[in-house]
């Protein structure tokens, strides 16, 4: 009986759950001025840094060739990674094979050398 869920009759509609948590106030003039000054100073700084970059036209013209070279380097990187992973697999499988061979010969040695339990009565 404790697991019985009885719905609440006076429950408000689901679409108004977060209505009271929203802030509907406008920003103050002081806050608007501080945001304006921060954004303005940041835009001036970024514009100045952009102005200081030399040979912008040459950089913009070389974008397609640079992107093509980058893709070629990424493809070469992945092909080299495949070779590196193969070398790691060769080393790890060689070590695992050696450990398994030693373990199998040790078990064979234990079976061949099995002694019957001799109880010494003195």
Together in a domain, 104 and 62: yes
Chain segment 52-72, per-residue pLDDT in tens: 999 988 988 999 999 999 999
In a domain, 80, yes or no: yes
In a domain, 72, yes or no: yes
Chain segment 94-108, per-residue pLDDT in tens: 999 999 999 999 998
Query: Rounded to whole angstroms, how far apart are CA atoms 81 and 74?
Result: 10
Q: Domain limits at 101?
A: 55-113
In a domain, 46, yes or no: yes
Together in a domain, 50 and 79: no
Cut 0.75: pTM above it: no
Give the residue among 36, 19, 20 at the shortest CA–CA distance from 28: 36
Considering 54, 72, 99, which residue would you say is the last residue of a domain?
54
Residue 25 is predicted with a pLDDT of 77
Query: Rounded to whole angstroms, how far apart are CA atoms 42 and 88?
Result: 50
Together in a domain, 32 and 73: no
Q: How many domains does the chain have?
A: 2
Q: What percent of the chain has pLDDT over 70?
A: 74
Q: Which residues of the chain have pLDDT under 50?
A: none
- Alpha-helical regions (H) of 1-62: 29-52, 56-61
Query: Rounded to whole angstroms, how far apart are CA atoms 100 and 95?
Result: 9
């Amino acid at each position: 009986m404790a697991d019985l869920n009885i719905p609440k009759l006076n429950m408000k509609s689901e679409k108004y759950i977060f209505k009271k948590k929203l802030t509907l106030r406008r920003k103050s003039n002081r806050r608007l001025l501080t945001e304006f000054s921060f954004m303005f100073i940041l835009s001036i700084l970024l514009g100045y840094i952009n102005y200081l970059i030399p040979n912008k036209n040459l950089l913009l013209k070389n974008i397609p060739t640079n992107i093509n070279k980058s893709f070629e380097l990424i493809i070469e990187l992945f092909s080299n990674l495949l070779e590196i992973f193969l070398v790691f697999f060769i080393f790890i499988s060689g070590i695992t094979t050696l450990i398994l061979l030693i373990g199998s010969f040790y078990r064979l040695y234990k079976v061949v050398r099995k002694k019957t339990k001799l109880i010494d009565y003195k």
